[in-house]
Chain A
């Protein structure tokens, strides 16, 4: 394995509007590969249509900085060198024409994205940003979400 693997997850967070759930910034001297992203909910037991999107960001928004919660898979690895903000209160500015993944899903089954092959991996260059956005919320739900990434360099 090259690089270091990190995981992150948020449990039971209420959301009532569409918003960026995770904004991932790569370290200034490292490359980050997004290996997995997931969104699910635990409060509804009837079907609702939701959608999720992964897109590149030009200007960062404002959210809760959760970098310290990004845990290395291998105990003893260095802390994650980038920055992770969650639950945006001010949305970031997304870069036009850079939607990498956009997918609707049933809230009962949740959403899980992993690259189908190596060529599809989301690459975040040094200091660049990618957002994982909950594009629609039908009503208030309690969400669980997270991601796995690999940092090389940093």
Chain B
């Protein structure tokens, strides 16, 4: 899935929702009595001016402003899970990934760091930034 130009976003105290037509990225926090945390490979990377999240076999490509928002929301929600059963809900295009708080915290932080690197790349290559 590729999140291209994201035209609207809504940031509230805990929920982040970014929409692009039919596509949505949502970061939220909720309490579950029974949940299955996502246990596949989960990585944040950057290439050129873009930031990527790899969730198992799925890949989400983001521009730096979106990656910064998503990374911040993951970190914020991960750190705000105080009670047993609190998880971070990460929805990409309707598919939900339940992340353990520590996982969301670290993934968000790594995304912010990758965003910083992609941002540096953009400044070094002002004519090569993808449209």
Contact = CB atoms under 8 A, between A and B. Distances in A.
Interface of A: 1-3, 31, 33, 118-119, 121-128, 150, 152-153
Interface residues of B, number: 23
B77 to A, nearest CB: 8
Given A1-B120, A2-B116, A118-B117, A153 B106 contact: no
Given A2-B116, A118-B117, A127 B109 contact: no
Contacts of A126: 76, 79-80
Interface of B is mostly: helix
A118 B113 contact: yes
A99 to B, nearest CB: 13
Contacts, number: 57
Given A123-B105, A152-B72, A31 B112 contact: yes
A107 B78 CA distance: 37
20 contacts: A2-B68, A2-B112, A2-B116, A2-B119, A31-B108, A33-B112, A33-B113, A118-B113, A119-B43, A119-B110, A121-B109, A121-B110, A122-B109, A123-B105, A123-B106, A123-B109, A125-B75, A125-B79, A125-B80, A152-B112
Query: Most chain-B Cβ atoms within 10 A of its Cβ — which of A3, A125, A127, A153?
Result: A125
A124 B112 CA distance: 12
Interface of B: 43-44, 64, 68, 72, 75-76, 78-80, 105-106, 108-110, 112-117, 119-120
Interface of A is mostly: mixed
Given A118-B110, A123-B105, A31 B75 contact: yes
Query: Most chain-A Cβ atoms within 10 A of its Cβ — which of B43, B44, B109, B117?
Result: B109
Given A1-B119, A1-B120, A126-B79, A31 B72 contact: yes
A2 B79 CA distance: 20
A83 B116 CA distance: 24
B105 to A, nearest CB: 6
Given A118-B44, A125-B75, 6 more contacts: A3-B116, A118-B114, A123-B108, A123-B112, A127-B79, A153-B72
